[in-house]
Chain A
Amino acid sequence: MDLIPIIVVVVFFQSVVIRQPFPQIGEVIFGFLFVIVGLMLFIEGLEIGLFPIGESMAYALAKKGSLVWLLIFSFVLGFSTTIAEPALIAVAKEATVISSSAGLIESDEKTMYNYAMGLRLTVAVSVGLAIVIGVLRILKGWPLYYLIIGGYILVMLMTIIAPKEIIGLAYDAGGITTSTITVPLVTALGVGLATVIKGRSPLTDGFGLIAFASLLPMIFVMLYGLFWF
């Protein structure tokens, strides 16, 4: 069901527009079957595993009443899932190669390693902080839009002063930080917290953690660029 649009698009373009024989049709059909079964299992697993664990941890941490532990948990969750994110590792590597060939950083191995590692750490710290700010917002009931609009204005200002070479990377860094396993967990955490805390609505206050996690890395990566170049 979820894949019908993709199949329609691919078949339409192959048969009507490009009019070339389909490459390895057997393998493609086989692959689609995998995708369908995988997606079904994933959704089932969300409902019985990831959502309940995220929510029960939110309840337990809120009941424990220790703000410090809740914030530490938020930071560690954001940091640890991002530092190991394969998409981020790939992008950091690519960005290092581009920067060194453009002569922005020294092209010896040590500098390049430091640069790539620094980039990953910067993004991971910023996601950790983003979840912390997001959780604090849920606790205090701050309206999300002030923070996000403030963030946008900061991004715009940073764009003006940041080195040109880092901007494209910084913008894309916002999009790649939130992986498929982090999103359900973080969403369940936010909605769970907003459900237990009196005076918060799960809909208005529970969402928004991911928004921070996509915004803060942009600001931090541009700062990182300012620091290096």
Chain B
Amino acid sequence: MIDFVMDFVLVLFATLRDVLPILVVIIFFQIVVLKQPIPHLKKVILGGVYVIIGLALFLMGLEKALFPVGQIMATQLSDPEFLGTTLGGPSDWRSYYWIYIFAALIGFSTTIAEPSLIAVAIKADEVSAGTISQIGLRVTVALGVAFALALGTFRIVTGTSLFVYIMAGYIIVIIQTFFAPKKLIALAYDSGGVTTSTVTVPLVAALGLGLSSSVPGRNPAIDGFGLIAFASLFPIITVLGFAQIMELKTRLFKIKIKKDEI
């Protein structure tokens, strides 16, 4: 129990240190530039305290529960003994199918719990007056991350160039941008940036490094990179795709209305 309390205090201080620059900026601007008190000061302070304590608890829980398990599982799954060498040698990409499934599932489930994404989803829900549901956006983004990690682990196993995948992804995003409803483009781009923070990055990094060190012929320094880049690109594609599907539905409806007007 004392260990837990000590850990908590340490994590709390680390979180406070991260928040400090933001706090300084806000206080400076309120006092020196805006020269006015913060509205609902007590509530805001309480909210700030909630955020810091909540984040500290969250991070500590992750360190105790999720990260060790995730890392052990990533190494166990990429263990040559577990994989077996029945399918044409250890470098055959088909023998790693559990890895792809695991990567996709862990990508999906950690993204659902990602605090940054929750924050953006709450705002999007609020601003769109409920048309973009909180859970809908989170699931769409999580599907993007799931696909990204499955493809990213496949890339590590096969050792193909990161550059080619990223270029292809960008080209898809650019093409989609032309056809997607303009209203949702900004939100889609933002969803790419928020997927990879507190929960996803450490797990994904462990998976990438573990996998690239157990697949024969892969170098962790070169092939271990890139999963994070994948996880920030593919959610843009799924959110834009989702927006396009919604748009198609409403367009059919609009055509009907226009006909009526004429």
A48, B38: Cα distance in complex, Å:
13
Decide if A34 is an interface residue (CB 8 Å cutoff).
Answer: yes
Contact of A31 among B52, B64, B173 (CB under 8 A): B64
Task: Report A-chain residues with C-beta under 8 Å of the C-beta of B186.
Answer: 144, 203-208, 211
Contact of A176 among B61, B128, B167, B228 (CB under 8 A): B228
Q: Are the CB atoms of A18 and B55 closer together than 8 Å?
A: no
Contact of B68 among A23, A48, A144 (CB under 8 A): A23
Decide if B89 is an interface residue (CB 8 Å cutoff).
Answer: no
Q: Are the CB atoms of A5 and B127 closer together than 8 Å?
A: no
Decide if A56 is an interface residue (CB 8 Å cutoff).
Answer: yes
A87, B228: Cα distance in complex, Å:
12
Q: Are the CB atoms of A6 and B62 closer together than 8 Å?
A: no
Contact A175-B201, Cβ < 8 Å, known A14-B73, A39-B115, A44-B54: yes
Decide if B13 is an interface residue (CB 8 Å cutoff).
Answer: no
Decide if A33 is an interface residue (CB 8 Å cutoff).
Answer: yes
Q: Are the CB atoms of A39 and B58 closer together than 8 Å?
A: yes
Decide if A122 is an interface residue (CB 8 Å cutoff).
Answer: no
Task: Report B-chain residues with C-beta under 8 Å of the C-beta of A202.
Answer: 127
A187, B189: Cα distance in complex, Å:
13
Q: Are the CB atoms of A76 and B190 closer together than 8 Å?
A: no
Contact of B60 among A9, A31, A69, A182 (CB under 8 A): A31
Minimum Cβ distance to chain B for residue A139 (Å) = 15
Task: Report A-chain residues with C-beta under 8 Å of the C-beta of B4.
Answer: 30
Task: Report B-chain residues with C-beta under 8 Å of the C-beta of A187.
Answer: 119-120, 123, 190
Decide if B237 is an interface residue (CB 8 Å cutoff).
Answer: no
Contact A45-B50, Cβ < 8 Å, known A77-B22, A207-B124: yes
Decide if A229 is an interface residue (CB 8 Å cutoff).
Answer: no
* B interface SS class: helix
Q: Are the CB atoms of B26 and A207 closer together than 8 Å?
A: no
Q: Are the CB atoms of B170 and A27 closer together than 8 Å?
A: no
Contact A175-B193, Cβ < 8 Å, known A49-B46, A52-B43: yes
A13, B70: Cα distance in complex, Å:
10
Interface residues of A in 156-213 (CB under 8 A from B): 156, 159, 167-169, 171-172, 174-176, 178-185, 187-188, 191, 201-211, 213
Binary contact track B48-70/A, C-beta < 8 Å → 1, others 0: 11111111111111111110111
Q: Are the CB atoms of A80 and B24 closer together than 8 Å?
A: yes
Decide if A53 is an interface residue (CB 8 Å cutoff).
Answer: yes
Interface residues of B in 27-81 (CB under 8 A from A): 29-30, 33-34, 36, 38-40, 43-66, 68-70, 72-73, 76-77
Q: Are the CB atoms of A52 and B40 closer together than 8 Å?
A: yes
Minimum Cβ distance to chain A for residue B57 (Å) = 3
A194, B146: Cα distance in complex, Å:
32
Minimum Cβ distance to chain B for residue A144 (Å) = 5
Decide if B238 is an interface residue (CB 8 Å cutoff).
Answer: no
Task: Report A-chain residues with C-beta under 8 Å of the C-beta of B59.
Answer: 38
Minimum Cβ distance to chain A for residue B54 (Å) = 3
A172, B227: Cα distance in complex, Å:
8
Q: Are the CB atoms of B50 and A49 closer together than 8 Å?
A: yes
Task: Report B-chain residues with C-beta under 8 Å of the C-beta of A144.
Answer: 185-186, 189
Task: Report B-chain residues with C-beta under 8 Å of the C-beta of A73.
Answer: 25, 29, 33
Task: Report A-chain residues with C-beta under 8 Å of the C-beta of B54.
Answer: 37-45
Q: Are the CB atoms of B225 and A168 closer together than 8 Å?
A: yes
Decide if A214 is an interface residue (CB 8 Å cutoff).
Answer: yes
Task: Report A-chain residues with C-beta under 8 Å of the C-beta of B254.
Answer: none
Contact of B25 among A12, A80, A207 (CB under 8 A): A80
Q: Are the CB atoms of B73 and A45 closer together than 8 Å?
A: no
Q: Would you mind naming 16 contact pairs between A and B with Cβ atoms under 8 Å apart?
A: A14-B69, A32-B61, A34-B60, A34-B61, A42-B50, A42-B51, A45-B46, A45-B47, A50-B51, A73-B29, A84-B17, A85-B18, A183-B119, A184-B123, A191-B127, A204-B183
Given contacts A38-B57, A149-B177, list 8 more A-B pairs with CB under 8 A.
Answer: A2-B118, A46-B51, A61-B34, A167-B163, A171-B166, A172-B225, A185-B22, A204-B183
Which 10 A-B pairs have CB atoms at the shortest separation, nearest pair first? A49-B47, A31-B65, A34-B61, A45-B50, A41-B54, A38-B58, A38-B57, A31-B64, A168-B225, A42-B54
